[in-house]
Amino acid sequence: MIGDPERNSLIQFRINQANEAISEVSRLIEADMLNIAVNRIYYGMFYSLNALALKYEFSSSKHLQLIGWFNKTFVKPGLVDIKYGRILRDAFKNRSDGDYVPFITFEKEDVQTMHENMKLFISKIEDILGDASP
């Protein structure tokens, strides 16, 4: 178990990673590196989700388990709008497809929408981190 100062530092580190990913995605979209942008969109959200899990002392090395925890803890009880669960699910699926489905391509307009959703998601996580426990 890690102490509060260390946990708080790690939470801030993960949020910084998430925000850096937002900037990276902007540059990747501009360079038409859309598959990589889709990957970074998911990972930026994943970093913020890791920060949230740290705050609530949830730990998992599995992506789907972490996503399930978020849905169970925040979406299902109505603490966050269901759209955030969808944004996360879609980002995970798009990242998986981009990494593993042969010949997949993403349209720039779609990736730009994914990027906007990423920003919404990370902002919501930052809001939750600023609030009290669920």
pLDDT single digits (tens) 16-42: 999 999 999 999 999 999 999 999 999
Tell me the C-alpha distance between 38 and 129, whole Å. 25
Mean pLDDT value across residues 42-49: 98
Backbone angles phi, psi at 60, to 5 degrees: -160, 145
- Specify the pLDDT at position 36: 97
Mean pLDDT value across residues 58-76: 95
Looking at residue 16, its amino acid is N
- Band (pLDDT 50/70/90 cuts) for residue 131 is confident
E strand residue ranges, the chain: none
* Whether residue 132 has pLDDT greater than 60: no
**Residue of 14, 41, 2, 5 whose CA lies nearest to 129:** 14
Match domain 4-130 to its CATH number in 3.30.460.10, 1.10.1280.10, 3.30.870.10, 1.20.120.330. 1.20.120.330
- Specify the pLDDT at position 84: 98
- What is the pTM (predicted TM-score) of this model? 0.93
Mean pLDDT value across residues 125-134: 79
Mean pLDDT value across residues 71-76: 97
